[in-house]
Amino acid sequence: MEQQEVLRTDQITKQYKMGQIIIEALRGVSISVERGEFVGIIGPSGSGKSTLLGLIGGLDTPTTGRVYIDGQDITYLSESELTQVRNEKIGFVFQFFNLVPTLSALENVALPIQFSRKRKFNPHKRAKELLDLFGLSDRMNNRPSQLSGGQQQRVAIARALANEPPLILADEPTGSLDSASGEVVMRTLRDVQRHTGTAVIIVTHDPNIAAQMDRIISMHDGLVVKDAAQMAAVEAYQKQRATGEMSPISIS
């Protein structure tokens, strides 16, 4: 597969000022992620995982250092330019789904397409295709409150994919689900990564989730302390590719 960097951070730091006190949430983090990677970020509470994900996703700007998304330096973009990068290049999946409660599943998924400046898809057609793919054909007109947690999270993944971004960022995506629904959500993210070539970065403190990732970035106290391939996962994936046994995206 063609190697293509979808994310690079260059020595990013983040300081939060709390009155007289400065909290160093990140103290110089350099990572690079290529197209189609399936990466976990782990580390104890307070180690900087969410801060890092927020900076990668253009939700906040670093104190020093640079962030590149799909080859573009996003560090010093204006708020409106950042909004556009987020809309086109990044799909977000949150612990508590963050769907719009007054909109149907279909309308939630169509929303990012309706907001995009370079509209690549017909919003409702694309939303329907994605929900069909995730086994939610009969749930399109339901509002989030009428769906289970696992179904809501699959709607959120469909929404994240709406504009076909090269990168999906998920912060504890299974954190508020029971283990069976969590497994379906993880399988959905894995299928997305395998079939679309979208890179997926998942922040988790769950060792069972971390064990499924191809690569693990471990954080401690605002620094990356380890960044390594997880060989078992990588080998299983390579074997599966060699034998042509790819799991289809078809989850109900």
Residue 210 has which token pair?
Answer: 């971390």
Residue 182 has which token pair?
Answer: 């969590």
Q: Binding string to ligand ADP for residues 3 to 42, with x set by CB under 6 A, is what?
A: -------------x-x----x-x-----------------
The answer to whether the Cα torsion of 61, 88, 171, 8 is positive or negative is: negative
Q: Give dist(CA 150, CA 153) in Å, integer.
A: 5
Q: Give dist(CA 184, CA 180) in Å, integer.
A: 7
Q: Which of 50, 61, 95, 176 binds ligand ADP (CB under 6 A)?
A: 50
Nearer to ligand ADP, 47 or 198 (CB): 47
Q: Answer yes or no whether residue 51 interacts with ligand ADP by CB under 6 A.
A: yes
Residue 52 has which token pair?
Answer: 């890092």
User: From ligand ADP, Mg ion, none, which one binds at residue 46 (CB under 5 to 8 Å depending on kind)?
Assistant: ligand ADP
Judged on CB neighbours under 10 Å (0-12, 13-18, 19+), 160 is: buried
Nearer to ligand ADP, 223 or 251 (CB): 223
User: From Mg ion, ligand ADP, none, which one binds at residue 23 (CB under 5 to 8 Å depending on kind)?
Assistant: ligand ADP
Residues within window 35-94 making contact with Mg ion, judged by CB under 5 A:
49-50
Q: Give dist(CA 221, CA 29) in Å, integer.
A: 11
Nearer to ligand ADP, 36 or 43 (CB): 43
The span of 43-51, 74-82, 137-145, 184-192 binding ligand ADP (CB under 6 A) equals 43-51
DSSP bridge pairs for 29: 12
Find the shortest distance in angstroms from Cβ 199 to ligand ADP. 20
User: From ligand ADP, Mg ion, none, which one binds at residue 47 (CB under 5 to 8 Å depending on kind)?
Assistant: ligand ADP
Helices (H), the chain: 49-56, 79-89, 105-115, 123-133, 149-161, 179-196, 207-210, 231-243
| Chain residues that interact with Mg ion, rule: CB under 5 A | 49-50
**Residues engaged in binding ligand ADP (CB under 6 A):** 16, 18, 23, 25, 43, 45-51
